[in-house]
Amino acid sequence: MAKMAASAVESGEDAFRKIFKFYRRRSPPPDFSKVIDFSRCAPSEQIVPVNLDPAAVSDVEASRVGLQPVREWRAFGLRGHPGFIFISNPFLCGAQPFWLRQCLKIYPQKPNICNLDMHMPSSETQDIWGKSVHSLRFALAGKREAKTLLERLRWVTLGYHYNWDTKTYSASNHTPFPRDLHHLSVHITAACGFPGFISEAGILNYYRSDSSLGIHVDESELDHTRPLLSFSFGQSAIFLLGGPCRQDPPTAMLMHSGDVMVMSGPSRLLYHAVPRILPAPPGHLALEKGDCGPASSLQDGSVLEPVSEEDWAVCSRYIQSSRVNVTIRQVLAPGQKFPETPSSYQRTGAGQKDGYNDGEADGESGKRKRSSSDSADTVET
């Protein structure tokens, strides 16, 4: 792999694109042996331990959002990428089902915006979960119907709703950010040395086994001094972290269910992408409710709620073949306002393109971009 990356750079090709295509290839399957697996690795020349701030979050505060005490978290960085922090599944046993249920049942609800709103009246996308569970339970029984709305969900935006067309946020397209997700984000960012984080925008991406997310930089936020936070649930993925230029060969790493990533400081504006979804290895789909479910250990003031057996049956079915990623961003510095923009930039969700997906980043700007179709999970790089 290193050899391939070097030859791409030498020939002046876009090294990121070449490596993206390498990992996306189906036949013959790529060699995954150079992909970093933080769940199994020890510090090395490339991988450095990251010291978090255990005093920033009390054990009680952590457990209220389903996290282990900060001193138990395994956090790593990559040499050459200061500000990049990978936290290998810091969740308490039994907490992930709650967060996954929120991603599938609660966050897609109005007033949040999703890809289905682009071509359906909101009366139809009002209750995606309610309209899907019946068929998904049938699917459990081995019968198959047309794809449910939940299976057609590709993205949801929260808070300041990202406009996929203009690649901007605006003051006029904003709804309240979920409080539970803000609490979770605040504690993780505080432990990473960023007190006072304000969760202002969220993008949830829903991946099927053949999905990918193209090469891009998240630069639409107006304040780049604040970190970008990413949570993964369900199936595993290969995440590529590049440099500030497309010529910089990216590092490949696995993201498993429960893993958290923070891009901050000099790593906040690096190119990145998800070329491939991979089956979660045994023991890594750490979502089984079991005896350690949050119901038995909920703290006073916990944001977690028990997940019913009925809800869990649907969630667990869904993640057998899917991955959900949630990125949280602070858009504005404290006190900062959006600049005046032409009214054409202040469109609402209804005017936007309808598609997930697998948006290959715009080659020019490298900002995240999605194609207008949500049916084909292909990326053109």
Burial of 196 (0-12, 13-18, 19+ CB in 10 A): exposed
Q: How many residues contact ligand SIN, by CB under 6 A?
A: 12
Residue 327 in the binding site for ligand SIN (CB under 6 A): yes
Residue 325 in the binding site for ligand SIN (CB under 6 A): yes
Binding-site member from 148, 185, 211, 230 for ligand SIN (CB under 6 A): 230
Helix/strand/coil percent split, the chain, to 5 = 25, 20, 50
Nearest CB to ligand SIN, comparing residues 255 and 332: 255
Q: Considering only 27-35, 149-157, 184-192, 232-240, which stretch makes contact with ligand SIN by CB under 6 A?
A: 232-240
Beta strand extents in the chain (DSSP E only): 47-49, 74-78, 84-88, 113-114, 155-159, 201-208, 213-216, 228-234, 236-241, 251-255, 260-263, 272-278, 322-329
CA distances from 263 to 45, 136, 216, 353 (A): 20, 36, 13, 27
Nearest CB to ligand SIN, comparing residues 157 and 302: 157
Q: Considering only 144-152, 153-161, 229-237, 298-306, which stretch makes contact with ligand SIN by CB under 6 A?
A: 229-237
Residue 154 in the binding site for ligand SIN (CB under 6 A): no
Q: Considering only 33-41, 184-192, 231-239, 334-342, which stretch makes contact with ligand SIN by CB under 6 A?
A: 231-239
Nearest CB to ligand SIN, comparing residues 172 and 209: 209
Of residues 241 through 300, those in contact with ligand SIN by CB under 6 A are 255, 272, 274
| Least spacing, CB of residue 353 vs ligand SIN, in Å | 17
Q: Considering only 103-111, 230-238, 277-285, 369-377, which stretch makes contact with ligand SIN by CB under 6 A?
A: 230-238
Nearest CB to ligand SIN, comparing residues 227 and 294: 227
Query: What is the pairing mode between strands 213-216 and 228-234?
Result: unpaired
Look-up of token digits 């949630």? 326
| Least spacing, CB of residue 274 vs ligand SIN, in Å | 5
Task: Give the torsion sign (CA, 93, 94, 99, 103).
Answer: positive
Distance CA 116, CA 73 (A): 37
| Least spacing, CB of residue 272 vs ligand SIN, in Å | 6
| Least spacing, CB of residue 231 vs ligand SIN, in Å | 9
Nearest CB to ligand SIN, comparing residues 59 and 377: 377
| Strand order from edge to edge, sheet including 84-88 | 47-49, 74-78, 84-88, 260-263, 228-234, 322-329, 201-208, 155-159, 113-114
Distance CA 182, CA 71 (A): 21
Nearest CB to ligand SIN, comparing residues 256 and 272: 272
Contact 104, 345 (CB under 8 A): no
Binding-site member from 38, 98, 239, 271 for ligand SIN (CB under 6 A): 239
Residues in CB range of 339: below 8 A, 6 or more apart? none
Binding-site member from 213, 229, 238, 332 for ligand SIN (CB under 6 A): 213
Distance CA 59, CA 280 (A): 29
Binding positions for ligand SIN, rule: CB under 6 A? 203, 205, 213, 230, 232, 237, 239, 255, 272, 274, 325, 327
